[in-house]
């Protein structure tokens, strides 16, 4: 140790708050105890360890022959959110005296509990180095916030998985102070070879229970949604009663909501039900054997998605409490555990299966790695931790041009007659618009679009508009997100086929909505009529240098041209059938038709909906947009919304 700057033993304080964190810390404590030449161990016990209702689990620490230096009663009873906050405050009041007395070189803190946050806060403010176990993991509740807060306070990190290591690096922690060791509990799990496991099973579940023919249930409240987690626990118990297998139910932890969960157990008579054994605590060595030989484990404990994978025991993970955890294939998730039947079906699917053993969280050699890591800590190094921030661009927020510039998007509208590109501001104002006739070939159109976008972007600089992106084409927006599809081909709504023998479409198919109702389709039909001298009626004329387009067809229809009216009616019917398909697929509450043709189609579309749609969607509102240039505004709006939600 002298070569690392330490000329004395390393004084290590291990603080444990509950039965769960002790199962991870105990292997490290045993390892420290076996090397008295290097380490002095102080054990601090607090939290639910010291509460009778939760099993007085400090006794198992004494049974493991550890001297408990300090017992701190830090839990304010009430099992609600306020009690959790008060418990943190009480721990913060009591811990300074303890730490001043023990004067540890390093404190080992585990996990993501509110008690652990008090420990880390106290140690950090008192200039005591902190080693955090299991940082960088993701679960999905308030525990995430607590875990990451402890990470920011800690000086050294022991993580269990490669993903957790990468998360810590992404959180700007120093790579040299991160150890990928695996989970310490796996050292015991993977070496557990208790041949007399049947005596343990019988002791906890009864003499008539067979191996793989019982369930272990362990469910805790979700503090960010207490009401739902209590309801979910009630549904779980109902499903277990219906499933009719012997079940070991462990009481929940001390988080807010646990009192209500215990009431649910007692309301349903679980403690006296012949199929259930309800217990406050099972020693970890025995708990290992119980889950290793169970037919299934159910609940939302991290143990289910972490430790139980070492045995390949089937697990049913309920709700969101562990939603972000890495899991083996033995875990079946029931994210929305909102019905008894759903949970019961999961039990039928999982019970009695056997999965391959998983080593995602460890290979059985975590403790030797952790002890080596502890020995390498140089107490002469500065205590102040450093964060490894990624390089950032020069801050230009005080530049007057940056302050005054207009956030904008380029919008592209590929019309039948014209190509249009516009600079659209965040306020929905068209700053400048560019229009060109639409070329005949695909290659010419793409070339012209690119050219117009380049010109518009150059002009935007002069207009002090910052272009955030380019919007083009149709799309489906769901919960403010653009749906792309597996090959970025989602929402080609213009190519919904409404007739098997319809006109050819530019996409290569035929009978698409676009082949009937688009501006290009109407332009094609208008040109046909004009070539056959069937377009113009009295009161109409087309200059020789003006190409025939959709507007001429509309004008002819208004002036009584029967053939033009028939073409528009067919086009409107095709559009209406497409709208019916969309109503049946996505069931929107409102249909808005936009563009110059919208007012000519709306009545036909409404008629088609009344005649062809299911009765449940026939009452949908169909209106015409009163926006000027709605296609350009729609194309720009998604770009502006998408980019600014991620910048600001």
State both tokens at 276: 């259930």
Residues of the binding site for Zn(2+): 495, 505, 507, 512
Q: SS3 letters for 526-574?
A: HHHHHHCCCCCCCCCCCCCCCCCCHHHHHHHHHCCCHHHHHHHHHHHHH
Q: Contact at 8 Å (CB) between 36 and 68?
A: no
411 in Cβ contact with 632 (< 8 Å):
yes
* Pair 632, 424: CB distance under 8 Å: yes
Per DSSP bridges, beta strands 129-133 and 178-180 are unpaired
Outline where 126-219 has alpha helix (H).
Answer: 142-153, 162-170, 185-189, 197-205
Q: Which of 251, 240, 242, 189 is nearest to 215 (CA)?
A: 240
Half-sphere exposure of 15 (CA within 13 A, CB side): 30
Q: In angstroms, what is the C-alpha Rg of the chain?
A: 34
The DSSP H or E segment spanning 71 is strand 68-72
Specify whether the CB–CB gap between 606 and 622 falls below 8 A: yes
Quick one: CA dihedral 64, 360, 221, 286, positive or negative? negative
Q: Which residues contact 100 (CB under 8 A, 6 or more apart)?
A: 126
Dihedral sign, Cα of residue 180, residue 182, residue 184, residue 188? negative
Contact (Cβ atoms closer than 8 angstroms) between residue 141 and residue 356: no
Report residue 606: phi and psi, to 5°: -60, -40
CA distance 270 to 315: 21
Which token pair is 502? 């319809």
Count the neighbouring beta carbons within 10 Å of the beta carbon of residue 36. 10
Long-range CB contacts (within 8 A, 24+) of 79-82: 79/254, 79/255, 79/256, 79/257, 79/258, 79/259, 79/260, 80/256, 80/257, 80/259, 81/223, 81/226, 81/256
Residue 219, helix vs strand vs coil: coil
Sheet of 465-472: strand order equals 430-437, 418-425, 406-414, 465-472
Are the C-beta atoms of 14 and 388 separated by less than 8 Å?
A: no
Residue of 292, 413, 447 lying closest to 357 (CA atoms): 292
C-alpha of 261 from chain center: 26
- 550: nearest Cα among 594, 511, 514, 517: 517
């Amino acid at each position: 140790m002298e070569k690392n700057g330490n000329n004395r033993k390393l004084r290590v304080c291990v603080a444990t708050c509950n039965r769960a964190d002790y199962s991870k810390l105990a292997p490290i404590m045993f390892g420290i105890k076996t090397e008295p030449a290097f380490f002095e161990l102080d054990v601090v016990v607090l939290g639910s360890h010291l509460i009778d209702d939760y099993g007085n689990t400090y006794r198992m620490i004494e049974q493991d022959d550890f001297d408990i230096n300090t017992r701190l009663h830090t839990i304010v009873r009430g099992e609600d959110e306020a009690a959790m906050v008060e418990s943190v405050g009480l721990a913060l009041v009591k811990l300074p005296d303890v730490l001043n007395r023990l004067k540890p070189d390093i404190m080992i803190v585990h996990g993501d509990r509110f008690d652990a946050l008090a420990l880390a806060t106290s140690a950090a403010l008192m200039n005591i180095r902190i080693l955090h176990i299991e940082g960088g993991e993701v679960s999905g509740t308030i525990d995430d916030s607590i875990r990451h807060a402890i990470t920011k306070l800690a000086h050294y990190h022991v993580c269990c998985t490669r993903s957790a290591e990468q998360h810590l690096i992404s959180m700007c922690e120093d790579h040299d102070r991160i150890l990928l060791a695996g989970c310490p509990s796996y050292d015991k799990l993977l070496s557990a070879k208790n041949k007399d496991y049947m005596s343990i099973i019988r002791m906890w579940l009864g003499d008539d229970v067979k191996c793989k023919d019982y369930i272990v249930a362990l469910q805790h409240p979700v503090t960010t949604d207490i009401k739902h987690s209590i309801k979910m626990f009630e549904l779980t118990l109902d499903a277990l009663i219906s499933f009719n297998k012997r079940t070991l139910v462990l009481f929940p932890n001390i988080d807010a909501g646990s009192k209500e969960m215990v009431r649910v157990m007692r309301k349903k008579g679980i403690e006296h039900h012949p199929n259930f054994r309800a217990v406050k605590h099972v020693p970890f060595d025995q708990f290992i054997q119980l889950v290793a030989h169970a037919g299934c484990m159910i609940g939302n404990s991290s143990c289910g998605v972490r430790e139980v994978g070492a045995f390949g025991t089937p697990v049913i993970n309920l709700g969101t409490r562990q939603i972000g955890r890495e899991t083996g294939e033995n875990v079946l998730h029931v994210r929305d555990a909102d019905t008894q039947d759903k949970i019961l079906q999961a039990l039928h699917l999982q019970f009695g299966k056997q999965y391959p053993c998983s080593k995602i969280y460890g290979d059985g050699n975590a403790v030797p790695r952790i002890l080596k890591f502890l020995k390498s800590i140089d107490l002469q190094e500065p205590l102040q931790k450093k964060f490894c921030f990624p390089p950032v661009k020069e801050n230009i927020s005080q530049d007057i041009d940056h302050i005054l510039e207009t956030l904008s998007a380029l919008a592209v509208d590929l019309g039948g007659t014209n190509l249009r590109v516009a600079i659209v501001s965040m306020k929905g104002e068209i700053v400048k618009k560019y229009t060109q006739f639409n070329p005949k070939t695909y290659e010419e159109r793409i070339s012209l679009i690119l050219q117009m976008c380049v010109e518009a972007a150059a002009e935007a600089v002069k207009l002090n508009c910052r272009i955030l992106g380019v919007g083009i084409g149709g799309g489906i927006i769901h919960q403010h997100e653009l749906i792309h599809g597996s090959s970025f081909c989602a929402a080609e709504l213009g190519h919904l086929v409404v007739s098997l023998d319809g006109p050819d479409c530019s996409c290569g198919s035929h009978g698409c909505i676009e082949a009937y109702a688009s501006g290009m389709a109407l332009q094609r039909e208008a040109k046909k009529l004009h070539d056959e001298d069937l377009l113009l009626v009295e009161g109409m004329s087309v200059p020789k240098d003006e190409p025939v387009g959709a507007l001429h067809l509309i004008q002819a229809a208004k002036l009584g041209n029967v053939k033009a009216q028939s073409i528009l009616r067919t086009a409107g019917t095709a559009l209406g059938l497409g709208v019916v398909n969309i109503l049946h697929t996505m069931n929107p509450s409102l249909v808005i038709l936009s563009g110059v043709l919208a007012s000519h189609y709306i009545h036909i579309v409404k008629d088609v909906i009344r005649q062809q749609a299911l009765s449940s969607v026939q009452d949908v509102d169909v209106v015409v947009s009163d926006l000027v240039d709605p296609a350009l505004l729609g194309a720009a709006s998604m770009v502006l919304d998408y980019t600014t939600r991620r910048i600001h």
